[in-house]
Structures are given as C-alpha cells and as structure tokens.
Amino acid sequence: MKKMISIGLIGFGTIGTGVVKLLQENGDLIAGRLGARAVNLRLGINDIGFDVALPEAGAITLTATVRAKGDAYAGNDTLAETVWVGPRPHVLYVDGVPESARYLAEALRAHHLDVTVASPEAMATGEVSVDAFDVVILSDVFVQGIDARTVAKLEAFVRDRGGGLIFAAGESTYGESGLAGSSVENMLPVRFEGKRKRRDLDLVLLIDRSHSMRGGKLELAKTAALSTLDLLEARHRLAVVAFDAKAYDVVPLAPVGNKRRAEDLISSMTARGQTSIYPALVEAQRLLATSKAATKHIILLSDGITDQPAASGGAPTAAEIQAAIRKGREQEMRQQGIPVPPPEAADPPPEPGAIEAIVAELAQAKVTVSTVAIGDKPNVGLMRDIAAIGNGRGYVAHDDAEIPSLFVSETRRLLGESLVEESFRPVVAHRTAVLSGVDFDSGPPLQGMSVARANAFADVLLRGPKERPLLVTTHYGLGKTVAFLSDVKNRWSGAWIGWEGYGRLWAQVVRDCVPRADQRNVVLRVTRSGGEALIELRAVASDRSYRSGLSPSVRILAPDGTQSTLVIQQTAPGIYSARARIEAGQTQPYRFDLAEGGGVTRADLREAGIRSLSYSWSDELRMLPVDAAALSLLSERTGGAYAARAEEIFALKGDGGRVPRPLWPILLATALVLFLLDILARRVPWALRRR
C-alpha cells in the first residue's frame, strides 16, 4: 500500500538545518535510504512528506525523529504513531471495448489498486455486482448497454453506500446518441450537449486498395466506410473512390438516401495493383467541382507510399519499390535462362510536387482534405503534408483496428457534433490533493474531448480548450461522482499512457472516490482530552439504521505492554463512548481495538481497524507558535491594533461614553464635615470671635 506520510514539526528559537528520519517498528529506516531527509527548518510549523510503500494491510507503528543543530531539549524530538493500513480499494472497471481496458487497468494495479475489468453485459446480467467494490469506472460505454435496473444499482451504490462513480468519455458518449439526457447523466457532475444542427456535406472517401491493403486492412477500411455511411443523413452526399494505380468510382457522388446499394458496393471492393495517390485526388476534384454543399471534404486512407514523388521527397515511392522487385526477378530469370517478358506500358508519373499542388487547388476551392496513415512503415510526412495543405486533420492508425474509429471521429467532427479533436494540454482550474504531484505543463497533450457543461455546484478541476470543463467532480448522496471528458486509452490519451503522471493522476482520482471512514458502517475514533483518551464507536446497519443495544468493548494496549479491556456505554442511537486514563511521556503510542462479542462481528472489526494515540510528552512541551494572522484579523475586525504600543492601548479613539458613578458617599462626607464645622463655630467663646 503506497501512502504519503506527512510529519508536522514545530520550530522554536534558533532554526537551521536538520535531519528527519522515519523508522519502522524494528528501528530500520522505512523505504531504505528514502526514510531519512535533510531539511531546512524554519520558525513555526514545518510539513515534511515521505512517499512510502507500506508492505501490508493492518496496524504499523512508525517513529519519526528530528535532530537539529542547537536543539537544547531532545525530549520532544521523537514521536511514534500507529498507522492503520486498510485493504486495497476494489475497483470495477467497465469498458465498452474491454480489449482496450488494459492501459488504465495496468496503471491502477501498478499503484496498488485491485482492479476487475468487466463488460457492460456482465454488469447488466449480474455476473459482477457493484456491491463488492468501492469504486466503479465507466469508460466509453454505450448508454444502450446500461439498462434501468443497472442504473438503479449504480444509484444506490453511490447515493446510499457512499461509493464512487468515475465516468470517462469515448466514442460512445457523444451528443444525443450518447449519454445526453440519460439516467446515467443524472448522477454525473456534467450535462452533455446534444447534437448541433448538422451541416450540408459532400464527402468523398479515397481508399487505397493496393496490394499492401490485402487481408484485414481492406476489410477494416470497408468497415470504416460503412460506419461513415451510417452516420450520414439522407440529404448528405457520399462518394467512395478506390484507387491503386488508377482511381475507380465504387460509389458515385449522390445523396445517401437508401443505404443498401452503397453498402453492397463498398463490400465488393478487392485489393490489387500498386499505389498512386495523384489520380485519386484528381478524381475527387472532378467529383466536387460542381458541389454546392457548405462543407466539401475528402478523407484519404493510404500508407502514403505512392508512385509519384512529393515535393519534399521522403520515403521511397511505390514505383521505386516495384522497379527494384522487378529488376531482381528479371535478373533471376536470366540466370535460369527464362525469357524476360517486355514491361507493361504505364502512364508516366506526375512531376514532383504534383500531389501538393492539387491539394492546394482543392483548398483554394474550399475543399478540405484529411488523411489516415496506415501500415507498418507509412510515409507519415507526406500524409501530414497533405492534411496541412488541405486544412484538414492528419491521423495515424497505430493499430489497424483504429481505422474505423478514426473515420467515425472525423465524420462526426465534420457534422458538427459535440466533440473537440485537437491537441491540447489540460489547464488546472482548481488545485486539490487529487492533482498533487502531476505536472500537466510538462506532460504530453491530449488529442480530443467530448463537450459538456458543468453542473452548478460541481467542482471543475481541469479545463480543456476554450475553458471547457475536462475533469469535474461532485457529491451525489453519500458518494462522489467524477466525469473526465477525454478518454483513458489509446485514442485521445495515446500520449498519456506512457507518461508517469497518467497512473498517478488516476490512482489519486480513484482513491479520492473511495468511501470515507465516516461513511462506513462501523467507525472507531480515539481523541485526547488532557490526561484522558476519549473513545467513540459509531455503528449503523447496511440500510443506514442505527445499531443500538450492543455491548462493545475495547482492548487497550499501553506502551509498557500492559493490556486492559474497557466496556463502552451507549450514549445515543448507534453511538457508544467511554474515557480511559493515559499518562504523558510515553515513547510508544497507546493502541485501541475493538473486541469481538457483544454484538460486534469479525466484519465489524475489519472495518473499524485499530486506532492509536500518542502522548510522548506533556502539554508544556506542545507549545504552538503565535497565530499572528488570526490575532491581526481579530484586531482589524474589532477596530483595534495588532501588537499595539502602550500609549495606543489606552488612547481614546471616539469610543468614550458616560459611566454612572454613585455620588452619595461624597455628598454624605461633605455634609458631615460641614456639620462638625458648624458645631465648632457655635462653641467658640464670644471674646475670641470679637477679636
């Protein structure tokens, strides 16, 4: 179990360099040499983090020590804590294409998470139950594959059990045909945009059918053309041109209408000949010359190894390769005495740069060109040049199976549906612990995302192009849901898969969704108040009802090895508490764990875990630095001054007022004095008065 251990040090007096060590129970440094760190200590609180891998679940006692030059008292330089390591989180990963689920599954397992990969059908049929997991990940899942009963289980899992639901986008989530308006969307922190108004479109597919396309490649190219056909409406116009050394109209440019005949024509394509891209572009230019559509587009599928040179040179042409093969065969035939037949007549290849020139003419006529490069060693440079000059997109199919999805993605982009396919780096909108240690600025870019709006009270952590929300979280009942609007596999996140931040980010997202301790059925807490430990147990049933009438007890293991058992009394529905006397100055922590019996089961013990309480030194040595910020704010809010001088303290600043004082003692004393003087005056002899 990998865990970040944070140590808080409080510095006083003369502060300088020091060494902080994190020790195991046997006294060895944890994680080898990584368990010691030289630090610069400053006045106040110093947080020192150790990223360590704890070997197993259960209670593990760790001891932190600090040594600093000039430290006058070593009595408070050591602290031992028992860390409770729970079981690994269990993750159910449901992917619409289970074959591509390995990327995220392997990354999560590398970060010590237990991952079970399943199909939507397995979840719908009950083959796997969400109740056995802490977090559910839905990736690229068709909404049609999630029935109402499955949605209800997911809702109860998140809302009532406090589980986590992570949604990752993909091809199956776009617009109204995807999750927009669905029951699953109601649980997520975003709302998907429906399809925008579809544009008028004339689309020409140029499909390489040369010898290099034999077998699976051509079949996948047919599937790509058929998938593109399915996306188009009756009013859109489509043409399919197959090319080898020449171009052939498989499906003439016409409104889609009834798709049956076009499907039959596309399925009839066969592979033969060598590659020549130039005639295919000429044919596409001819077909679109009189087009009045708002969008005129060409998708070129080829390995780019053509029989005419490009202006920039690059890979050897198909003609050069064929000539070399033919020369070798002729030489072998001559050696065997076999007559060599004369070469077949062929059209002379165009001049260098002819491909770029015709693509530039198409761009000038408002016809855009996108390319899909395939094959083991495609001429990627030429294909990308064609896409750049044609103001289109250049795709590279790293796997033949990607060909249909690339065609579908490009067609959806043309139709103006709710997705963005462009290279971008995520921008941090709200820095949280979920994003800790992930440097998106230096990481590779993503290649696309689905468009959605964040809900009013959701937290947007990452943003994509044009400030669009990318990673969004929210609370749903007792649980948490997350939406990531790019994918998690080798389509839009292809460059992320090999990036070290990929696994770290998703491991942190998953752990953030794991049910918190206070959402579990049995929660044990231990806190200190003076010289006492306050023990509290909260127990509820699976239906969240209170478990009253229990007689739980807690075993207390003191640092000196003595054990005692304390029965906890019920103080409220489902709440049990007690106090235990503890002593300061102990080098090891006190440990508290529930005992089986009195209504407490073994399952309750595993869920509650073991708690510890450190009391290594008395409160006199737990001095905290002055909270200057809080005192300054208090002075400001009350109209006073922070750290005021003596004359400022007693100065009146318009805050004087009347204070009533009793005057009768003064008046009574005055009357008494006058009365005595009057008596004295009366008794003085007249002779003295006459003088």
For position 691, what pLDDT does the model report?
Answer: 54
Tokens linked to 78: 């050591």
**pLDDT score at 310:** 47
Concatenated DSSP letters for 30-51? Answer: TTGGGGEEEEE--SEEEEEEEE
- Work out the angle at residue 331's Cα, subtended by the Cα atoms of residues 327 and 336, and round it to the nearest 5 degrees: 150
Residue 367 lies in a domain: yes
Domain assignment present for 160: yes
DSSP 417-458: -SEE-S-B--EESS--GGGTT--TTTSPPB--EE-EEE-TT-
Report the first-to-last Cα separation within the chain, whole angstroms.
Answer: 113
CATH number at residue 13: 2.60.40
Return the structure tokens found at 352. 């260098």
Which of 492, 513, 534 corresponds to the end of one domain? 513
| Contact in structure between 37 and 19 (CB atoms under 8 Å) | yes
**What is the CA angle 685-686-687, rounded to 5?**
90
* Number of separate domains in the chain: 4
Range of the domain at 487: 90-195+420-513
**Do 66 and 107 fall within a single domain?**
no
pLDDT higher than 70, residue 624: no
Kindly report which listed range (141-145, 504-508, 598-602, 670-674) carries the lowest average pLDDT score.
141-145
Over residues 98-127, mean pLDDT: 88
Let me know whether 429 and 396 are in one domain. Answer: no
Do residues 469 and 608 share a domain?
A: no
| In contact, 467 and 453? CB cutoff 8 Å | no
pLDDT tens, 415-457?
Answer: 765 667 788 999 999 888 899 889 999 999 998 888 888 988 8
Which residues lie across from 524 on neighbouring strands? 537
Two tokens, residue 319: 């003609």
Same domain, 96 and 83: no
Exposure on the CB side of residue 198, measured as CA atoms within 13 A = 14
Last residue of a domain, one of 478, 513, 548: 513
The pLDDT of residue 366 is above 80 = yes
| pTM of model > 0.85 | no
pLDDT digits (tens, 9 = 90+) for 2-17: 454 555 555 544 467 8
What residues contact 349, with CB distance under 8 A and at least 6 apart?
A: 276, 278, 307, 308, 309, 317, 319
pLDDT digits (tens, 9 = 90+) for 495-513: 999 899 999 999 999 999 9
- In a domain, residue 130? The reply is yes
Residues 6+ apart with CB under 8 A from 541: 521, 547
The proportion of the chain whose per-residue pLDDT surpasses 70, expressed as a percent, equals: 80
The pLDDT score that the predictor gives to residue 244 is 85
Backbone angles phi, psi at 679, to 5 degrees: -60, -40
What does the block give as tokens for 579?
């106090």
Q: What is the SS3 assignment for 288?
A: coil
In a domain, 665, yes or no: no
How much is the pLDDT for 667? 92
Whether residue 302 sits in one domain with residue 400 = yes
**Mean pLDDT calculated for residue range 523-539:** 89
> Strand, helix or coil at 688?
helix
C-alpha count within 13 angstroms, C-beta hemisphere, residue 589: 26
pLDDT at res. 537 = 92
Q: Containing H/E element for 479?
A: strand 479-484
Residue 377: which residues within 8 A CB-CB, separation 6 or more?
303, 315
Amino acid at 369: V
Render pLDDT for 320-357 as a digit per residue (tens, 0 to 9).
445 554 565 566 666 666 666 665 444 555 555 788 88
pLDDT averaged over the chain?
81
Pair 23, 40: CB distance under 8 Å = no
Question: How would you write 303-325 as a 3-class SS string?
Answer: CCCCCCCCCCCCCCCHHHHHHHH
CB of 547 closer than 8 Å to CB of 577: no
State residue 345's pLDDT score. 46
If one compares 669 and 183, the residue with the highest pLDDT of the two is 669
Tokens standing for 378?
Answer: 């495609």
pLDDT bucket at 298, cuts 50 / 70 / 90: very high
Written as six digits, the tokens of 149 are 């009963």
Q: Is the pLDDT of residue 386 over 80?
A: yes
- Please determine, for residue 233, whether its predicted confidence score (pLDDT) is greater than 60: yes
**319 and 378 share a domain?**
yes
Confidence of residue 220 (pLDDT cuts 50, 70, 90): confident
Whether residues 109 and 162 fall in one domain: yes
Question: Is 356 in contact with 311 (CB distance < 8 Å)?
Answer: yes
Q: Name the nearest CA neighbour of 244 among 268, 285, 287, 278.
A: 278
Distance CA(44)–CA(165), nearest Å, equals: 40
Q: Is residue 173 pLDDT above 70, yes or no?
A: no
Task: Give Cβ neighbours of residue 501 (< 8 Å, ≥ 6 apart).
Answer: 437, 438, 439, 440, 443
Edge-to-edge strands of the sheet including 391-396? Answer: 247-255, 237-243, 201-208, 295-302, 367-373, 391-396
pLDDT over 70 at 458, yes or no: yes
Which residues on neighbouring strands pair with residue 565, listed in sequence order? Answer: 555
Q: Give the C-alpha separation, 116 to 130, whole Å.
A: 11
What backbone torsions phi and psi does residue 45 show, to the nearest 5 degrees?
A: -85, 130
Is 637 within a domain? Answer: no
Are residues 268 and 138 located together in one domain of the fold? no
Strands 237-243 and 590-594, how do they pair? unpaired
pLDDT digits (tens, 9 = 90+) for 550-577: 999 999 999 888 999 999 999 999 999 9
Percent of the chain whose pLDDT exceeds 90? 26
Do 376 and 524 lie in one domain? The reply is: no
User: Quick check: helix, strand or coil at residue 562?
Assistant: coil
> Where is average pLDDT lowest: 50-54, 336-340, 463-467?
336-340
- Residue 629 within a domain: no
Query: Looking at the predicted structure, is the pLDDT value of residue 129 above 70?
Result: yes
**One domain, residues 234 and 311:** yes
Q: What pLDDT is recorded for position 77?
A: 78
Tokens of 236: 């859109």
Question: What would the mean pLDDT of 28-53 be, rounded to a whole number?
Answer: 71
Query: Using the 8-state DSSP alphabet, how is residue 540 labeled?
Result: B
CB 447 within 8 A of CB 464: no
Cα 225 to Cα 240: distance, rounded to the nearest angstrom: 8
Indicate if 40 and 99 belong to the same structural domain. Answer: no
Q: Which residues pair with 241 in a beta bridge?
A: 206, 249
Inside any domain, residue 168: yes
Alpha-carbon separation of residue 638 from 626, 635, 647 (angstroms): 19, 5, 18
Confidence (pLDDT) at 312: 46
Any domain includes 660 = no
Of the listed ranges 214-218, 337-341, 533-537, the one predicted with least confidence: 337-341
Q: Tell me the two tokens of residue 646.
A: 């003596």
Tokens of 11: 């510095």
Domain endpoint, select from 463, 488, 513: 513
CATH code where residue 444 lies: 3.40.50.880
- Distance, in Å, from the CA atom of 45 to the CA atom of 49, rounded to the nearest integer, reads 13
Q: What is the pLDDT of residues 587-612, one digit of tens each?
A: 778 889 999 998 999 888 888 888 88
| Same domain, residue pair 492 and 382 | no
